[in-house]
């Protein structure tokens, strides 16, 4: 065991531990969850420490040997992805200070270990004075959080793109397959499954556009602002160099905020992004609810869709199959909506020059991103690709639907059409048959009016021609 000191007192730390006294205290102080800091935040933080070390070395404020060892330590951790020494919990007080200090301590201790191995260590590398030079938790932590969110955003956008692509394929496949439309869960005028799938694709395209639009906001960071945005304890040379270096290391296009004080104290960018994720979750919920409803049955439900059979649905009812993929996506969506409430409250309750609640913001947003990505992937792979429309059943429903008589209103009037619908329901025959029996319109016109193209309003020109012919026949 080694004895370490801080402003509180002394603590014994295991000899082989890369973390130090601050990390140890944080692990004890925040026994809220076993979930540790998100690996994307850790990796992003290490990239920031690497960029800072290079900038400070170039500025002449950090000894070259120290800088090279810090850079080597960051590289080793990034390459190995061995983050076991980051022991602080994801939920923590202190606005992320515990995370920053945990990173500072493991980088400093690993750098000294590498120095001893290379026989180059001549001086002690200090977590604050060297690894944290020209930095504060208050500018590095939100920067690491935003970098992590941007890294997690790319796979989410890919997943949404894949979802859109499959929906467009289904729209093309079933472009002429008619179905009964429904409003308020009651029969409405017919449409096609092609249009339904296309409408869903358009909905998710809108979500994708919103995610693309937020990228610039997330890429605007307050690095260089240090404690409250004034840049105290940083150098001009560091300020000039650190952002280009960080962009080179991360491969991103980050920009420094125009007003570092404002960017340090306000966290509305995170609530905006969380709201976009919530919007995606809401749309996924609506879509999956529709899948579950349209596939209900199969004997006693709508049964218009057949979802792929991916697992047995009951321990007692033989042969029962449940829509488990839409169900799990629904649950992820519920989770994301709840996390957005947490983010909203955390953003709202920041005070004065700093928001202290970014740890829970980052935990919730990053979880939402990763869970949505995984949910959409399984939705596409295990449900949408194999979905089948029960074409004949849907056509029969349209043929038997009295509400299809809506197409007659321009020719017979609303009240007469209503009477026909009621009579058709009473005598249990299709409206089309009833109109022919009563010889209310020419038989050819009736056939044309009840064709799928006209019922679903797919060809406005043909519909206008039919109306004109009907007028001449009267």
What is the tens place of the pLDDT at every residue in 305-341?
999 999 888 889 888 889 999 999 999 999 999 999 9
**Same-domain pairing of 54 and 111:** yes
Q: Is residue 242 within 8 Å of residue 143, measured between CB atoms?
A: no
Instruction: Tell me the range of 17-21, 297-301, 430-434 where mean pLDDT is highest.
Output: 17-21
Question: Cα–Cα distance between 247 and 346 in angstroms, integer?
Answer: 29
Task: Give me the catalytic one of 64, 253, 314, 443.
Answer: 314
Higher pLDDT, 294 or 463: 294
Residue 419 belongs to domain spanning: 401-473
Higher pLDDT, 401 or 380: 380
Dihedral angle, C-alpha 101, 104, 108, 111, nearest 10 °: 150
**Same-domain pairing of 196 and 272:** yes
* Residue 266 clears pLDDT 70, i.e. is over it: yes
* Residue 468 clears pLDDT 70, i.e. is over it: no
Q: Single out the residue in 391, 412, 436 at which a domain terminates.
A: 391
341: number of CA atoms within 13 Å, CB side?
A: 5
Structure tokens at 450: 């009840």
Residue carrying the six token digits 């009016």: 449
**Same-domain pairing of 201 and 279:** yes
The region of weakest confidence among 40-44, 152-156, 288-292, 421-425 is 421-425
Q: Single out the residue in 369, 391, 413 at which a domain terminates.
A: 391
- CATH number of residue 422's parent domain: 1.10.40
Average pLDDT over residues 359-378: 98
Model confidence at 460, in pLDDT bands (50, 70, 90)?
low
Average pLDDT over residues 111-133: 87
Q: How many domains does the chain have?
A: 3
- CATH number of residue 188's parent domain: 1.20.200.10
* Residue 260 clears pLDDT 90, i.e. is over it: yes
* Average pLDDT across the chain, whole number: 93
* Residue 474 clears pLDDT 50, i.e. is over it: no
* Residue 54 clears pLDDT 90, i.e. is over it: yes
435-460 exposure pattern, b = at least 16 Cβ within 10 A, e = fewer: bbeeebbeeebbebbbbeebbbebee
Average pLDDT over residues 48-69: 97
**Same-domain pairing of 290 and 198:** yes
**Same-domain pairing of 41 and 83:** yes
Decide if 314 is catalytic: yes
Question: Cα–Cα distance between 100 and 116 in angstroms, integer?
Answer: 24
The dihedral of CA 349, 355, 361, 363: what is its sign? Answer: negative
* Residue 9 clears pLDDT 80, i.e. is over it: yes
Element (H, E) at 186: strand 186-192
Model confidence at 405, in pLDDT bands (50, 70, 90)?
confident
**Could you give the angle at which helices 324-348 and 268-294 cross, rounded to 10 degrees?**
160
β-partners of residue 13 are: 2
Of residues 48, 281, 239, 33, the one with CA closest to residue 146: 48
Region for 407 from its dihedrals, namely left if φ exceeds 0, alpha if ψ lies in -120 to 50, beta otherwise:
alpha
Average pLDDT over residues 280-308: 95
Question: What percentage of the chain has pLDDT greater than the value 70?
Answer: 96
User: What pLDDT was estimated at residue 471?
Assistant: 53
Average pLDDT over residues 5-26: 92
Note whether residue 94 is domain-resident.
yes
* Residue 463 clears pLDDT 80, i.e. is over it: no
Note whether residue 216 is domain-resident.
no
Question: Cα–Cα distance between 359 and 344 in angstroms, integer?
Answer: 13
Question: Cα–Cα distance between 465 and 444 in angstroms, integer?
Answer: 13
Q: Is residue 13 within 8 Å of residue 109, measured between CB atoms?
A: no
* Residue 198 clears pLDDT 50, i.e. is over it: yes
User: What pLDDT was estimated at residue 216?
Assistant: 96
User: What pLDDT was estimated at residue 472?
Assistant: 47
Contacts of residue 294, Cβ cutoff 8 Å, sequence gap at least 6: 302, 304, 305
**Same-domain pairing of 289 and 381:** yes
* Residue 467 clears pLDDT 60, i.e. is over it: no
Note whether residue 167 is domain-resident.
yes
**Same-domain pairing of 352 and 448:** no
* Residue 263 clears pLDDT 80, i.e. is over it: yes
* Residue 110 clears pLDDT 50, i.e. is over it: yes
User: What pLDDT was estimated at residue 67?
Assistant: 96
Average pLDDT over residues 42-55: 98
Of residues 206, 192, 156, 193, the one with CA closest to residue 291: 193
β-partners of residue 187 are: 182
**Same-domain pairing of 383 and 276:** yes
Q: Single out the residue in 365, 391, 417 at which a domain terminates.
A: 391
Distance linking the first and last C-alpha atoms of the chain: 102
Mind listing the pLDDT tens digit for each residue in 30-40?
A: 999 999 999 99
* Residue 192 clears pLDDT 70, i.e. is over it: yes
**Same-domain pairing of 202 and 342:** yes
**Same-domain pairing of 411 and 432:** yes
Model confidence at 466, in pLDDT bands (50, 70, 90)?
very low
* Residue 359 clears pLDDT 50, i.e. is over it: yes
Average pLDDT over residues 387-399: 93
Burial class (CB in 10 A: 0-12, 13-18, 19+), 29: middle
Average pLDDT over residues 406-418: 90
The dihedral of CA 128, 129, 131, 134: what is its sign? Answer: positive
* Residue 138 clears pLDDT 80, i.e. is over it: yes
The region of weakest confidence among 105-119, 183-197, 279-293, 447-461 is 447-461
**Same-domain pairing of 107 and 166:** no
């Amino acid at each position: 065991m080694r004895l370490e000191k801080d402003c509180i007192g002394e603590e014994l730390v295991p000899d082989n531990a890369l973390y130090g006294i601050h990390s140890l205290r944080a692990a004890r102080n925040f026994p809220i969850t076993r979930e540790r800091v998100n690996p994307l935040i850790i990796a992003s933080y290490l990239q920031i420490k690497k960029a800072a070390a290079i900038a400070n070395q170039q500025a002449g404020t950090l000894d070259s040997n120290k800088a090279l060892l810090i850079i080597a330590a960051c590289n080793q951790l990034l390459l190995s992805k061995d983050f076991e020494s980051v022991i602080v919990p994801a939920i923590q007080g202190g606005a992320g200070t515990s995370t920053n200090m945990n990173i500072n301590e493991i980088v400093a201790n690993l750098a000294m270990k590498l120095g001893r191995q290379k026989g180059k260590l001549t001086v002690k590398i200090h977590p604050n004075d060297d690894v944290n030079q020209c930095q504060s938790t208050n500018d590095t932590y939100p920067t690491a959080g935003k970098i992590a969110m941007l890294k997690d955003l790319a796979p989410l956008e890919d997943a949404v793109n894949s979802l859109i692509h499959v929906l467009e394929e289904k729209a093309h496949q079933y472009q002429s397959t008619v179905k009964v439309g429904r409003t308020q869960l009651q029969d409405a005028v017919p449409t096609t499954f092609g249009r339904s799938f296309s409408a869903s694709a358009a909905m998710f395209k809108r979500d994708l556009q919103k995610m693309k639009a937020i990228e610039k906001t997330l890429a605007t960071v307050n690095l260089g602002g240090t404690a409250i945005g004034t840049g105290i304890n940083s150098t001009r040379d560091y300020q000039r160099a650190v952002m280009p270096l960080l962009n080179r290391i991360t491969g991103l296009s980050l920009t420094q905020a125009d007003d570092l004080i404002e960017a340090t104290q306000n966290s509305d960018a995170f609530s905006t992004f969380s709201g976009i994720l919530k919007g995606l979750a809401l749309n996924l919920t609506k879509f999956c609810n529709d899948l579950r409803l349209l596939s209900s049955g199969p004997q006693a439900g709508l049964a218009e869709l057949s979802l792929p059979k991916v697992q047995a649905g009951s321990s007692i009812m033989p042969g029962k199959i449940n829509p488990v993929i839409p169900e799990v996506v629904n649950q992820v969506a519920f989770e994301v909506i709840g996390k957005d409430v947490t983010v909203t409250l955390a953003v709202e309750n920041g005070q004065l020059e700093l928001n202290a609640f970014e740890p829970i913001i980052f935990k919730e947003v990053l979880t939402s991103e990763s869970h949505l990505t995984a949910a959409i992937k399984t939705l596409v792979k295990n449900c949408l690709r194999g979905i089948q429309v029960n074409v004949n059943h849907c056509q029969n429903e349209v043929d038997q639907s009295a509400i299809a008589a809506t197409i007659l209103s321009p020719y017979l009037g609303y009240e007469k059409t209503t009477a026909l619908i009621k009579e058709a329901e009473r005598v249990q025959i299709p409206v089309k048959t009833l109109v022919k029996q009563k010889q209310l319109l020419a038989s050819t016109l009736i056939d044309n009016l009840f064709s799928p193209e006209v019922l679903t309003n797919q060809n406005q020109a043909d519909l206008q021609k039919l109306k004109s012919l009907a007028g001449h026949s009267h």
